[in-house]
Protein backbone atom coordinates (compact mmCIF):
# COMPACT_ATOMS: atom_id res chain seq x y z
CA UNK A 1 0.00 0.00 0.00
CA UNK A 2 1.20 3.49 -0.91
CA UNK A 3 -0.29 5.32 2.06
CA UNK A 4 1.57 5.57 5.40
CA UNK A 5 -1.79 5.12 7.14
CA UNK A 6 -4.91 3.88 5.34
CA UNK A 7 -6.99 6.92 4.29
CA UNK A 8 -10.44 7.16 5.82
CA UNK A 9 -13.11 8.92 3.77
CA UNK A 10 -14.57 10.76 6.76
CA UNK A 11 -11.14 12.26 7.56
CA UNK A 12 -10.44 13.07 3.90
CA UNK A 13 -13.71 14.97 3.67
CA UNK A 14 -13.47 16.61 7.09
CA UNK A 15 -10.12 18.17 6.20
CA UNK A 16 -11.81 20.28 3.52
CA UNK A 17 -14.54 21.75 5.70
CA UNK A 18 -14.80 25.55 5.62
CA UNK A 19 -12.37 25.79 2.69
CA UNK A 20 -12.61 26.20 -1.08
CA UNK A 21 -12.91 22.40 -1.26
CA UNK A 22 -16.13 22.55 0.77
CA UNK A 23 -17.42 25.58 -1.15
CA UNK A 24 -17.05 23.78 -4.50
CA UNK A 25 -18.67 20.58 -3.22
CA UNK A 26 -15.62 18.35 -3.67
CA UNK A 27 -16.16 14.99 -1.96
CA UNK A 28 -13.74 12.08 -1.67
CA UNK A 29 -15.62 8.88 -2.46
CA UNK A 30 -12.99 6.13 -2.60
CA UNK A 31 -9.44 5.35 -1.52
CA UNK A 32 -7.66 2.29 -2.88
CA UNK A 33 -4.16 0.95 -2.29
CA UNK A 34 -2.58 3.56 -4.60
CA UNK A 35 -5.34 5.91 -5.73
CA UNK A 36 -8.11 8.20 -4.50
CA UNK A 37 -11.36 9.24 -6.17
CA UNK A 38 -13.30 12.46 -5.62
CA UNK A 39 -16.32 14.09 -7.25
CA UNK A 40 -17.35 17.69 -7.88
CA UNK A 41 -20.70 18.98 -9.11
CA UNK A 42 -20.88 21.10 -12.22
CA UNK A 43 -23.18 23.81 -10.89
CA UNK A 44 -23.35 27.59 -10.32
CA UNK A 45 -20.15 27.39 -8.21
CA UNK A 46 -18.03 25.63 -10.83
CA UNK A 47 -19.22 26.86 -14.24
CA UNK A 48 -18.05 29.68 -16.48
CA UNK A 49 -20.57 32.23 -17.86
CA UNK A 50 -21.55 29.94 -20.79
CA UNK A 51 -22.59 27.32 -18.18
CA UNK A 52 -19.77 24.83 -18.86
CA UNK A 53 -17.30 23.52 -16.27
CA UNK A 54 -14.73 26.24 -15.58
CA UNK A 55 -11.18 25.07 -16.26
CA UNK A 56 -10.05 26.68 -13.00
CA UNK A 57 -12.55 24.57 -11.06
CA UNK A 58 -11.11 21.44 -12.66
CA UNK A 59 -7.64 22.58 -11.59
CA UNK A 60 -8.88 23.12 -8.02
CA UNK A 61 -10.17 19.54 -8.02
CA UNK A 62 -6.84 18.27 -9.36
CA UNK A 63 -4.75 20.28 -6.88
CA UNK A 64 -6.95 19.21 -3.99
CA UNK A 65 -6.58 15.56 -4.91
CA UNK A 66 -2.81 15.69 -5.39
CA UNK A 67 -2.25 17.64 -2.19
CA UNK A 68 -4.45 15.38 -0.10
CA UNK A 69 -2.83 12.26 -1.56
CA UNK A 70 0.61 13.62 -0.64
CA UNK A 71 -0.45 14.27 2.94
CA UNK A 72 -1.36 10.59 3.32
CA UNK A 73 2.13 9.65 2.07
CA UNK A 74 4.02 11.72 4.64
CA UNK A 75 6.14 9.81 7.15
CA UNK A 76 5.20 12.26 9.90
CA UNK A 77 2.42 14.81 9.42
CA UNK A 78 3.39 16.69 12.58
CA UNK A 79 6.90 17.51 11.33
CA UNK A 80 6.35 17.79 7.55
CA UNK A 81 3.87 19.36 5.13
CA UNK A 82 3.00 18.79 1.50
CA UNK A 83 3.16 21.98 -0.59
CA UNK A 84 2.17 22.29 -4.24
CA UNK A 85 4.89 23.84 -6.41
CA UNK A 86 3.63 23.29 -9.97
CA UNK A 87 0.46 22.15 -11.67
CA UNK A 88 -0.57 21.83 -15.28
CA UNK A 89 -3.82 20.83 -16.89
CA UNK A 90 -5.00 19.88 -20.35
CA UNK A 91 -8.72 20.50 -20.81
CA UNK A 92 -9.94 17.95 -23.34
CA UNK A 93 -13.75 18.02 -23.30
CA UNK A 94 -16.47 20.23 -21.91
CA UNK A 95 -19.05 19.41 -19.24
CA UNK A 96 -22.41 21.20 -19.19
CA UNK A 97 -23.96 22.50 -16.00
CA UNK A 98 -25.93 19.85 -14.13
CA UNK A 99 -23.37 17.09 -14.33
CA UNK A 100 -20.79 15.70 -11.97
CA UNK A 101 -17.11 15.16 -12.67
CA UNK A 102 -15.01 12.45 -11.07
CA UNK A 103 -11.27 12.70 -10.53
CA UNK A 104 -8.83 9.88 -9.91
CA UNK A 105 -5.36 10.62 -8.55
CA UNK A 106 -2.47 8.18 -8.94
CA UNK A 107 1.23 8.57 -8.17
CA UNK A 108 3.92 9.03 -10.78
CA UNK A 109 6.65 9.42 -8.13
CA UNK A 110 6.52 9.43 -4.34
CA UNK A 111 9.94 10.29 -2.95
CA UNK A 112 11.18 11.68 0.35
CA UNK A 113 11.18 15.31 -0.78
CA UNK A 114 9.05 15.35 -3.94
CA UNK A 115 5.79 13.77 -5.07
CA UNK A 116 4.36 13.88 -8.60
CA UNK A 117 0.72 12.94 -9.18
CA UNK A 118 -1.46 12.46 -12.25
CA UNK A 119 -5.13 13.35 -11.98
CA UNK A 120 -7.65 12.27 -14.60
CA UNK A 121 -11.04 13.96 -14.48
CA UNK A 122 -13.98 12.37 -16.31
CA UNK A 123 -17.58 13.29 -16.85
CA UNK A 124 -20.45 10.92 -16.07
CA UNK A 125 -20.34 9.20 -19.47
CA UNK A 126 -16.67 8.31 -18.88
CA UNK A 127 -15.30 10.83 -21.39
CA UNK A 128 -12.02 12.38 -20.28
CA UNK A 129 -12.44 16.06 -19.37
CA UNK A 130 -9.04 17.03 -17.99
CA UNK A 131 -5.63 15.49 -17.40
CA UNK A 132 -3.48 17.22 -14.81
CA UNK A 133 -0.10 16.69 -13.22
CA UNK A 134 0.98 18.27 -9.93
CA UNK A 135 4.37 18.40 -8.26
CA UNK A 136 4.39 18.54 -4.46
CA UNK A 137 7.36 19.44 -2.28
CA UNK A 138 7.65 17.74 1.11
CA UNK A 139 8.94 20.40 3.51
CA UNK A 140 9.70 20.55 7.23
CA UNK A 141 7.18 22.52 9.28
CA UNK A 142 8.51 25.60 11.01
Does residue 118 carry a catalytic annotation?
no
Backbone angles phi, psi at 34, to 5 degrees: -145, 25
> Which residues, including other chains, have CB under 8 Å from residue 118's CB and lie 6 or more apart?
105, 106, 107, 108, 131, 132, 133
Catalytic residue of the set 30, 63, 75, 97: 63
What is the DSSP code (8-state) at residue 96? B
Q: Which residues are marked as active site?
A: 63
Amino acid sequence: MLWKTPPKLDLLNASGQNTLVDHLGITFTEAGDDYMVATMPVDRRTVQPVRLLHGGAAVVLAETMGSVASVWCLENRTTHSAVGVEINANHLNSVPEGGIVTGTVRPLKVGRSMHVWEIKIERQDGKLVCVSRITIAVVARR
